[in-house]
Amino acid sequence: MTQTNLVEQFVTQVIAASDNAELDRIYLTNQVLALVGDEARSVVTTSTVLIDLKDELVAAAVKNGHCGSTFNEQDILGAQLMNLLVPRPSIVNRQFWQTYQEKPEQAIADFYQLSKTSDYIKTRAIAKNIYFVTPSDYGDLEITINLSKPEKDPRAIAAAKKVKATGYPLCQLCMENEGYLGRDNYPARSNHRIIRFKIDDEEWGFQYSPYAYFNEHCIFLSSKHEGMKISEKTFTRLLNIIEQFPGYFAGSNADLPIVGGSILTHEHYQGGRHNFAMMKAKITTKLNFKGFADVEAGIVKWPMSVIRLRSQNKKQLVALANKILQAWRQYSDEQVGVRAFTGETPHHTITPIACTHGDQLELNLVLRDNQTSSKYPDGVFHPHQDVQHIKKENIGLIEVMGLAILPPRLKSEMQEVRKFLLGDKNKIAAMHLPWAEQIAAQNKITAANVDAVLQSELGKVFAKVLADAGVFKQTQVGQAAFMRFIKSVLN
């Protein structure tokens, strides 16, 4: 393999992957040396892959003392190096919207490619995730064990405690993250860019998720740091987004704790180019709402409680979605433990998802209830204790649609369960033992089928997780209760 100078090769690849020209070579070289130290001039490489070259430069900077040894310090330097190939925000936006005028999908594809090339989307880290599909009564569920996000370095945690809080950026979804250097307790964003767009008269931003869970996983964020709120405006915005970004779905986490997402302090939605199991699920019961003749409606065959609305009439679609939201906010049914309030504390909200279906606009409205009780202190409509050995975290937008995001601990824990099932020496965790014994009793386990059986059983657990989060259960009693709510909306 041919050896070349590391700095020269990195600059060559930056020029090839960006709008930089050969005339910029000396300038780019000096920018690199300013970041990694003049000592890097003597380092050689056999690589021609841009991200690999970046990593080698970071390693050289660590070796010569220009960069610290923690992940955060190295990530900050890596983002600065990759920022050399990313145009300024004004140029990125100008190029996006110039292309958009003729070819909207090409503009989106170009921005997606830029976000990957610049290592803002962590493609190599994402590739570490464990992913498989498993059949269920509700269609093929997707399972991921999330290994892409780096584990927190104890040294970085210690250093972060010493960092004085600045309040800037206010959160990781604020516009101020664009180009932000990062620090011990905050991610590197030097190579981050945001596309600005309008929803009515409001300024919004479009960016990709650094640690994507599905194809073209993106985020639409408000320019204002205001808390999330599901309202009539939410439905209008989501439909506006899918019209502006063809081929994408857009959805919102719920706006209450337990049933909401991880960040409730900043209004934002998620989207991407992916067809989830819930979107493919069929209608079990058709519904007709008086005064909304232009809207097709129905209850979806799904473990959570979903009402699907379709129409070409956006105004009617939004109006009916809002009517259902307002009814659900106030609705209680003691027969099935559904309560809108405890005192003045509200429990009911909706997780809405917008997409297109042929020439129709579609809204899927997932009913959510965030009650707790002495029996279910983590949440009545939340993963119950019998499945928390696999999944205890909140069920947010992505999981609602049928893609499980399971914690990284499961990679090693499932290896021990696998050994147990095969009768090998193991260190199975006590919390997994009853589940593993049940699997062993119900299946004839061999070396040839153990992985398939384990994946199938994880899928069953995820289906149970979704059922736990479902307000109206998939039983005669539950579905009768669902229809009582529908009738309350009709009234």
pLDDT digits (tens, 9 = 90+) for 368-398: 999 999 999 999 999 999 999 999 999 999 9
Q: Which residue range(s) make up the domain with 62?
A: 4-67
Average pLDDT on 455-469 reads 98
In the chain, % of residues over pLDDT 90: 94
pLDDT, residue 166, reads 72
Alpha helices in 118-183 (DSSP H): 123-126, 154-162
Do 283 and 415 reside in the same domain of the chain?
no
Give the tens place of pLDDT for each residue, 179-224.
999 998 899 999 999 999 999 999 999 999 999 999 999 999 999 9
- HSE at residue 73, side-chain half, CA atoms within 13 A, is 17
Distance CA 434, CA 425 (A): 17
Do 465 and 480 reside in the same domain of the chain?
no
pLDDT band at 262 (very low <50, low <70, confident <90, very high): confident
Average pLDDT on 152-173 reads 67
Residue 158 pLDDT > 70, yes or no? no
Distance CA 314, CA 434 (A): 50
The kind and range of the H/E element at 143 are: strand 141-145
256, part of any domain = yes
Residue 154 pLDDT > 80, yes or no? no
Question: Do the beta carbons of residue 250 and residue 164 sit within 8 Å?
Answer: no
Distance CA 401, CA 306 (A): 10
Q: First-to-last CA distance in the chain?
A: 75
178 Cβ contact list (under 8 Å, min separation 6): 89, 189, 192, 193, 194
Rg, the chain, Cα only: 25
From the list 227, 233, 248, 228, the residue with the least C-alpha distance to 201 is 233
Do 255 and 371 reside in the same domain of the chain?
yes
Counted domains in the chain: 3
Give the tens place of pLDDT for each residue, 286-338.
999 999 999 999 999 999 999 999 999 999 999 999 999 999 999 999 999 99
222, part of any domain = yes
388, part of any domain = no
Residue 167 pLDDT > 90, yes or no? no
Do 447 and 310 reside in the same domain of the chain?
no
**The pair of three-digit structure tokens given for residue 119, joined into one six-digit string:** 């290592």
269, part of any domain = yes
Distance CA 55, CA 8 (A): 15
pLDDT, residue 149, reads 77
Residue 101 pLDDT > 70, yes or no? yes
Integer CA distances (angstroms), 457 to 133, 390, 404, 414, in order: 12, 11, 13, 11
Do 261 and 349 reside in the same domain of the chain?
yes
pLDDT band at 159 (very low <50, low <70, confident <90, very high): low
Q: For 342, phi and psi rounded to 5 degrees?
A: -120, 105
Do 324 and 458 reside in the same domain of the chain?
no
175, part of any domain = no
Do 314 and 430 reside in the same domain of the chain?
no
Do 231 and 314 reside in the same domain of the chain?
yes
Do 227 and 371 reside in the same domain of the chain?
yes
Q: For 308, phi and psi rounded to 5 degrees?
A: -105, 135
pLDDT, residue 160, reads 47
Counted residue by residue, the chain has a size of: 491
Give the tens place of pLDDT for each residue, 26-50.
999 999 999 999 999 999 999 999 9
Helix (H) and strand (E) counts in the chain: 16, 17
Do 252 and 344 reside in the same domain of the chain?
yes
pLDDT, residue 165, reads 62
Residue 482 pLDDT > 60, yes or no? yes
pLDDT band at 153 (very low <50, low <70, confident <90, very high): low
Do 247 and 340 reside in the same domain of the chain?
yes
Average pLDDT on 160-169 reads 68
441, part of any domain = yes
pLDDT, residue 162, reads 54
> Across-strand partners of 186?
183
pLDDT, residue 115, reads 98
**Domain limit, last residue, from 67, 85, 104:** 67
156 Cβ contact list (under 8 Å, min separation 6): 70, 71, 72, 184, 185
Do 295 and 271 reside in the same domain of the chain?
yes
Q: For 93, phi and psi rounded to 5 degrees?
A: -65, -40
Lowest pLDDT segment from 69-83, 108-122, 139-153, 343-357: 139-153
134, part of any domain = no
164, part of any domain = no
Average pLDDT on 455-476 reads 97
